Amino acid sequence: MEIKELTRAEEQIMQVLWQLKKGFVKDVIDTLPEPKPAYNTVSTFIRILETKGFVDHTAFGKSHEYFPIISKEQYQGFATEKLLSGYFDNSVKHMFSFFVKKEKIDLKEADEIMKLIEKLKEK
């Protein structure tokens, strides 16, 4: 199944659903930051996410409890591949270098990354 790119608003709703694991529209709204969007707005975005194949639901009468069917890890993989191919010529080295230059990686994180690299070398 092909994963589609999410808009910023869709991704915000998905972040909530990944956190909640499942929930009704009201649960999603309760978790979103202020100012809270209208019920109909959130409901519309959840239905769009359902159409895109990210979300499914269980019906309880007229109410629907929604749950993710694409995991956060699956979307992270998709988004990372898109970032790498679209902006860094498929080079992790270029991406890492960019984050270092922008001072988005501190020494502790760099040390942890080096330890991960050493573990990979051992395999």
Per-residue pLDDT tens digits for 49-98: 999 999 999 999 999 999 999 999 999 999 988 888 988 898 888 888 88
Burial of 15 (0-12, 13-18, 19+ CB in 10 A): middle
Q: Which of 64, 63, 74 is nearest to 14 (CA)?
A: 74
Query: Which of 12-21, 27-36, 73-82, 101-110 shows the lowest mean pLDDT across its residues?
Result: 101-110
- pLDDT given for residue 1 in this prediction: 66
Q: What is each CA distance from 63 to 14, 18, 35, 47, 58, in whole angstroms?
A: 19, 20, 24, 13, 8
**Host H or E run for residue 38:** none
**Average of pLDDT values for 26-35?**
96
**Average of pLDDT values for 85-112?**
84
- The reply to whether 26 falls in a domain is yes
Indicate if 64 and 107 belong to the same structural domain: no
- pLDDT given for residue 103 in this prediction: 78
Cβ–Cβ under 8 Å, residues 53 and 69: yes
Q: Which domain holds residue 121?
A: 90-123
Domain count, the chain: 2
- Which CATH number do you get for residue 24? 1.10.10.10
- The reply to whether 64 falls in a domain is yes
**Host H or E run for residue 2:** none
- The reply to whether 82 falls in a domain is no
Q: What percent of the chain has pLDDT above 70?
A: 99
Indicate if 17 and 47 belong to the same structural domain: yes
Indicate if 15 and 60 belong to the same structural domain: yes
Mean pLDDT of the chain: 91
- pLDDT given for residue 32 in this prediction: 95
- The reply to whether 38 falls in a domain is yes
